[in-house]
Structure 1
Amino acid sequence: MKQLGTPFPCTSMCSFIMDSVADGVFTVDTDWAITYFNKSAEALTGIPMARALGAKCWDVFQTKDCKDVCVLRACMTDDRKIAHRIMHILRGDGTTAAVSVSAAPLKDNKGRIIGGVETLRDLTGGFDDARHVCWGSPEDFCTKDRSLTELVRILPQVAQSEATVLLLGESGTGKELFARAIHRLSGRAKGPFVAVNCGALPENLMESELFGYKAGAFTDARRDKPGRFQLAEGGTLLLDEIGDLPLALQSKILRVLQERVYEPLGGVESVAADVRVVASTNRDLARMVDEGTFRGDLYYRLNVVQFTLPPLRERSQDVPLLVDHALRHRRRAQGKDIRGVAPEAMRLLTRYGYPGNIRELENILEYACILCPGGLIQVDHLPRNLRPAIRPVTSDGPMTMDEVRYHAAVKAVKRNLGNRNAACRELGISKDTLRKILKLNGTEEK
């Protein structure tokens, strides 16, 4: 086994420097045994250095990526550096963590590869809110949808560029989630992320909110106030609902994108703008350009990279994934032992159209978690508008299987004069199954 101590002795100063780095750093030899493990790697993985040293890297990180897309193996085999690959590791406490991985081969003085070095950047910190946790991979974005998976696949490359990104999609489809992911995966990640809803600002205040103002610019302007562009300096600015910007202000945004300068209200000198702009809207900007309500030159400046996010009704296969993710967060936040969703309730959730998209699903689950005491979320824990409307027993029209079961159960209970045990024996079902059938429409037959 080739050790890294020769010809690269790691002095105490070297160890001090590496232990001061925020990213996890570890090295392996050509037998994949870990030869160095800094303190940030310990903190990220929850595995002590003494336990990691000498162990195979796949035993420490326990990720399926080790088998399928090992970054270290690729860089050592191909003699190349690899940067910003999104992967998942299993921490010592059993939880998973999304990390940005970069790797390079280690060589001796004769240029021979004697191992590899890998850095791990934690991508989960600061995203405790359920809306902001899922974003590193198709699994993290809770999707099996082909079009959305492709967007997630190219997301790291787009984020590493400085290109302006235009996010299109209905309200609640996750546009801000994508914007935050772009910021988090970019070279501006340590800078601020500032979001401004252009549709929520009064038209007469938009300019001062975006560009700030100087003291004396108007009657109540007693001191300088920074605008959103200044607050986002060195970071990313999300212009949400940019389709609501008035034409007069659109020209000022265009100038920022073209010349990277702006002028605060009441200012006489231009201010440089070191800001990456991401814009989003639920409106059809191309049609607005044709109608003359949105500037064509601004549209083409914004539309360097376009991500169109599909509505939830077009990706119903993702509903169980989103539900599972949201419930994990709810369990932590509310301290309830809610294990999941009953099959009948999940069937209703997957069939629903979600005009409010993911945001509406989150609200539905929050409501259900309030009513559910624990265990599985049942149909009667869901909002009433999701529960099926059961037709009267006398209906001659076609019925779903759920309705057939419901009507059969109702008749059995009535035939047995309300004796549920007798009804269960007649139907050949358990009392618990009878209760679930009778609750299908949110009420129980007495």
Structure 2
Amino acid sequence: MIQGEITSHILDSISDGVFTIDKDFSISSFNRAAEKITGVKKEEALGQKCFEVFRSNMCEKICPLRKTLKTGKKQIDIKGYCVSKEGRKIPISVSTALLKDKRGRVLGGAETFRDLSEIENLKKELQRAPMRKLESKNASMQKIQDMLPSLAESLLPVLIQGETGTGKEIVAKSLHQLSPLKDGPFVALNCSAFPESLLESELFGYKKGAFTGADKDKPGRFALAENGTLFLDEIGDISLNLQVKLLRVLQEGEYEVVGGRSPVKTNARIISATNRKLEELIEAKKFRMDFYYRINVIGLELPPLKERTEDIVDFAELFLDGAFFRKNPTSDENPYFFNAEVLRYFYNYPWPGNIRELENTVERMLALARSYELDRNLLPDSFFQEKKKHERKQDGDLTSIKKIQERAEKKMLIKCLEKNNWHKGKTASDLEIDTSTLWRKLKKYGIERATI
């Protein structure tokens, strides 16, 4: 009795959930952490079938406890999820072992499970961290990335120019996150999405009764961005009249709410972006020169993806990992990969939609995939309709393509080896090559189990 109480106290002191079952899969013990994770009280769980209390996707497929009772072997760190009493889906890691008496007779089984929610939340946060995601090998982009910390610290207005989809908002978010305002809000507004009359009230807010339908006060984006950053995308599309009002904000640090009677102070930092040539708009009298110089205290020009060929493969693999882990948050590894032919298409495509088009293309391929190897059949038609004049035939292209092929082949070899637990014969058979050929390739790429 005393021994049982000691064991119970020990189990209740650990942070992992633990329960034991008899040979009929009825729960015989249930620790405090198990109560917390599942939301089920110990008194409710005891005597119940484990699959009625511990509702897991593994119960439906291959139950680790059942496998342990059948084979006598432990199951270690099996990933899956369980559903709590409140219906919350919880990512978990499960390990199982036999439960024996002093004579070695099997009494049942024991299962420990760890709540992975915090780890998965951290993964999601990392996936949302912008510049950590898109580290560039391109010289122009590296120069910009090196400048960001000092630019962020200054809090001066920044104008980011570049084609649609080049990552202007990503850079704006990075400036915010690196700045003293990082704990404040980051508020984004696409200026081209609103007509002039609505854009003014969207920016500055309005008072009740300011116009028909204004039945209550509404704060504008400047108010929402207080103590933070306001990102004005497509700034080149706003009217001359609104440019005057924004110019006052930049000069005086204040604005007037629509229908209001007195100016309102703001301390929001303004970062602007456009895909238009503002100098040409100035010449055409469609953009104010004084406003241009106010928003362009610091100017950044983002090159299009077609001029950043050294980044294409890295970005594609990054987007592939991101899309996979969003759909499979409890997985440890992404098994999907691009074959060499797809990477050649990526390299030779002009990417008119830039980074955004690349990300959309990768997500589409993953959604349509029927095997782990992503091939040319998953590419959009635009890749095959592209005219030859758009293909980049630069010096060194053949060398770059060869490197891309070798990179894809090495990744494929490692994945196939891991799938076959590094059995060379099975791996060669899967790849439909001779074992001697496989050995040559492993030597060529320096692939050894200890180095992976």
* TM-score (normalised: structure 2): 0.56
2:326 & 2:257 partners in 1: Cα distance? 42
Q: What corresponds to 1:195 in structure 2? A: 188
1:236 & 1:365 partners in 2: Cα distance? 31
User: Shift of the alpha carbon at 1:127?
Assistant: 6.3
Q: Given that residues 278 and 287 in structure 2 are in contact (C-alpha distance below 8 angstroms), is that contact kept between their aligned partners in structure 1?
A: yes
What whole-Å deviation, never above 9, does each CA across 1:43-102 have from its counterpart, x for those lacking one?
Answer: xxxxxxxxxxxxxxxxxxxxxxxxxxxxxxxxxxxxxxxxxxxxxxxxxxxxxxxxxxxx
2:353 & 2:126 partners in 1: Cα distance? 19
1:414-433 equivalences in 2 (<5 Å): none
Q: Is 1:227 aligned to 2:220, yes or no?
A: yes
Q: Is 1:301 aligned to 2:294, yes or no?
A: yes
Q: Is 1:358 aligned to 2:387, yes or no?
A: no
User: Shift of the alpha carbon at 1:267?
Assistant: 0.7
What is the aligned length?
270
2:234 & 2:302 partners in 1: Cα distance? 14
Q: Equivalent pairs: percent with the same residue?
A: 42
2:368 & 2:307 partners in 1: Cα distance? 29
What whole-Å deviation, never above 9, does each CA across 1:142-198 have from its counterpart, x for those lacking one?
Answer: 311101000000101101111000000000000000000001110001111000000
| Unmatched segments (≥5 aa) in structure 2 | 1-120, 388-397, 402-429, 434-452
Q: Is 1:150 aligned to 2:154, yes or no?
A: no
1:291-370 equivalences in 2 (<5 Å): 291-335=284-328, 337-370=334-367
State the secondary structure of the residue aligned to 1:307.
strand
User: Shift of the alpha carbon at 1:374?
Assistant: 3.6
Q: What corresponds to 1:133 in structure 2? A: 129
Label 1:201 to 1:332 Cα distance change in 2 as closer, same or farther (>3 A): same
Cα-Cα RMSD? 2.6
Label 1:319 to 1:135 Cα distance change in 2 as closer, same or farther (>3 A): same
2:217 & 2:385 partners in 1: Cα distance? 57
Label 1:332 to 1:345 Cα distance change in 2 as closer, same or farther (>3 A): same
Q: Given that residues 232 and 270 in structure 2 are in contact (C-alpha distance below 8 angstroms), is that contact kept between their aligned partners in structure 1?
A: yes
Q: What corresponds to 1:103 in structure 2? A: none
Q: What corresponds to 1:373 in structure 2? A: 370
User: Shift of the alpha carbon at 1:134?
Assistant: 3.7
| AA partner of residue 362 (structure 2) | L
2:378 & 2:284 partners in 1: Cα distance? 46
Please say which of residues 377-386 and 167-176 is displaced more in the overlay: 377-386
| Unmatched segments (≥5 aa) in structure 1 | 1-123, 391-400, 403-429, 434-446
1:242 & 1:128 partners in 2: Cα distance? 29
1:306 & 1:157 partners in 2: Cα distance? 13
2:295 & 2:312 partners in 1: Cα distance? 31
2:274 & 2:237 partners in 1: Cα distance? 8
State the secondary structure of the residue aligned to 1:135.
helix
State the secondary structure of the residue aligned to 2:218.
coil
* TM-score (normalised: structure 1): 0.57
1:389 & 1:302 partners in 2: Cα distance? 38
Q: Given that residues 263 and 269 in structure 1 are in contact (C-alpha distance below 8 angstroms), is that contact kept between their aligned partners in structure 2?
A: yes
Q: Given that residues 130 and 171 in structure 2 are in contact (C-alpha distance below 8 angstroms), is that contact kept between their aligned partners in structure 1?
A: no
**Bigger helix share:** 2
Q: Given that residues 244 and 291 in structure 2 are in contact (C-alpha distance below 8 angstroms), is that contact kept between their aligned partners in structure 1?
A: yes
What whole-Å deviation, never above 9, does each CA across 1:121-145 have from its counterpart, x for those lacking one?
Answer: xxx9696595x43404xxx423111
1:366 & 1:129 partners in 2: Cα distance? 19
